[in-house]
Structure 1
Amino acid sequence: MEEPTADLIRAQLRRMRSAAGLSQEEFGRLLHYSASMVSSVETGTRPLDRVFLTRADEALKTGDLLTTLLKMAERESQPSWFRPWLEAERSARQLRYFNPSLVPGLLQTANYARMVLRFDSTRPHEEVEKQVAARLERQEILLRDRPPLVIAVIDESALRRRDAIMAEQLAHLLHMAELPHVQLHVIPADAGLHVGLSGPLALARSAEGGWVGHLENQLAGLVVDGEDAMATLLARWEGVRGVALPQTLSVALMKEVESQHGPQ
């Protein structure tokens, strides 16, 4: 994480520790870390760590300054093509997601996200963990005081993957479905061919009423907001939503599938 915000975190950490009159050894004892750990975080030879910075905020009474900056650094680490969508997602009043093969990122557990991110076998473990943390940070919009309305459509095949993590993921989806601002719909396996099989899509509606779309492929993603493009994506969303089950039946199906995955 070589972005400017990461450098700022290290500089602020060193400055505030020194202002508190603490040596690296004394500071480490407060945080239950070694002096060498404190030194390696401050110099950048060790990646920034959320647990470390949470403890540092508490010890230095910074009001969550360091962990807030870490969230900014994690956003900087996202690919440039993805950042416009992140901004649209954070400020949206309504979000719509569809994926024909995976659970949408905003609804993934850490273990599910970790497995998806490991599809790229060249991605280092450290980078995977940063991306997992960034994905979980995105999900905080679901828990804020005025969350957006989230409507997600998931294909039944995505729920029936025979991976050990799926029981946990299904339990999480069922918990999310209990939130008043989250609507989950499942396209049943017998739905046949439908327009959603063309690929995943995500839509965000701003407070002003405008729409932004996001499309992904194997290499990157594309954010679109042109009138014609959005008209097409909104029509395709209606096609996807039209073949999905109502929420009550969708939840019943998810419970059935969860029972078949066995205990967590």
Structure 2
Amino acid sequence: MVNINILDPGASPLDYYGFELRRCREAAGLTQRQLGDIINFTGSLVGQVETARKLPTLDFSERADAALGTGGLLSRLHPLVMRSQLPAWFQQVAELEVRAVQICSFQEHLVLGLLQTEAYARSVLGALDQSNLEDRTAVRLARQRVFEKEGPPVFWAVLGEAVLCQEIGGPEIMRKQLAHLLTFEDNPRINIQILPFSAGAHAGMQGSFDLYRFASDPTIVYTEGYGSGHPTANPDTVNDCSLRYDHLRAAALSIKDSAELIRRVMEDRYGEQLA
């Protein structure tokens, strides 16, 4: 067992979170078990979070804040903790997502992480590696809170029709994933367009990419390889990918027609019967 007395709050955001949780709990005169009883978690889990062996959930953080009267400290630390658990090469992208005023994404074969359901994300992340799957899934889903912040980014996603047909996790998971995409149908800040097979050769055939635009900083293009990410602000690359994205949006179905295609695939391919 990790000796909590030597926990270094400067070692990582997770260690700092554990240190602060322990400090606040002790200031309140509570044992780990007592705090667990109050917030409806086990004392063992409280101890694991305090020793940086377990990731706190947002629910845990909010309940602990309320019980300990921290003024929301742990809830404010939670996004930082979750971003720190992303692969080192992806952490910069998570920061871009938080800072961007507009995100434009083109994905050929996969629903991007910001729009994934929990089951879909778990299926993707667990395809080759089942280790720490619950925590890795929670970390990915935590990125979606960018849409809940004050002044969220305007988000555009162009998805290849193959995304709808690539059966990730089975019919039930796909049905719920496509239904999730449809929940954004009337949200003007989250826009989804489908690039149909009938579009033929298109401007994104070199691969998926993302554009991050900011209020005052240069636009950044992000592409991804196996276990590595490649952000760049090179003006030539940015201009090229911006032009490509404009052509992709023009070739894609309208937002309304895209929703109809998603709905049709959900019904016909995955057996959803709508009233």
Normalized against structure 2, the TM-score is what? 0.86
Q: In the alignment, which residue of structure 2 is the partner of 1:181?
A: 189
2 CA distance for matches of 1:138 and 1:118? 18
Distance change >3 Å, CA 99–CA 36, structure 1 → 2: closer
1 CA distance for matches of 2:75 and 2:87? 21
2:56 alignment partner, one of 45, 49, 57:
49
Deviation beyond 4 Å, 4+ runs, structure 1: none
- The 8 Å contact of residues 55 and 135 in structure 2, kept in 1 or not, is answered as no
Offset of residue 80 of structure 1: 2.6
SS in 2 for 1:21: coil
User: Which deviates more from structure 2 when the two are superposed, residues 135-144 or residues 193-202?
Assistant: 135-144
Distance change >3 Å, CA 151–CA 32, structure 1 → 2: closer
Taking the TM superposition and a 5 Å limit, the aligned residue runs for 1:1-264 are 4-44=12-52, 46-50=53-57, 51-119=59-127, 121-122=128-129, 124=131, 126=132, 128-162=133-167, 163-164=170-171, 165-208=173-216, 210-260=218-268, 261-263=270-272
Q: Show CA shifts across 1:113-145 (max 9, x none).
A: 1111123x2351x2x333322222221222333
Distance change >3 Å, CA 34–CA 118, structure 1 → 2: closer
Greater relative contact order structure (CA < 8 Å, 6+ sep): 1
- The 8 Å contact of residues 99 and 201 in structure 1, kept in 2 or not, is answered as yes
Offset of residue 29 of structure 1: 2.0
Offset of residue 204 of structure 1: 0.9
- The 8 Å contact of residues 79 and 142 in structure 2, kept in 1 or not, is answered as yes
Offset of residue 8 of structure 1: 1.1
Identity %: 36
2 CA distance for matches of 1:250 and 1:80? 35
State the one-letter code of the partner of 2:271: G
1 CA distance for matches of 2:114 and 2:42? 36
Distance change >3 Å, CA 41–CA 138, structure 1 → 2: closer
SS in 1 for 2:192: strand
SS in 2 for 1:179: coil
Distance change >3 Å, CA 253–CA 235, structure 1 → 2: same
State the one-letter code of the partner of 1:157: A
Q: Show CA shifts across 1:141-192 (max 9, x none).
A: 2233322211110111111233331111111111112211122111112222
Normalized against structure 1, the TM-score is what? 0.89
* Unmatched segments (≥5 aa) in structure 1: none
* Unmatched segments (≥5 aa) in structure 2: 1-7
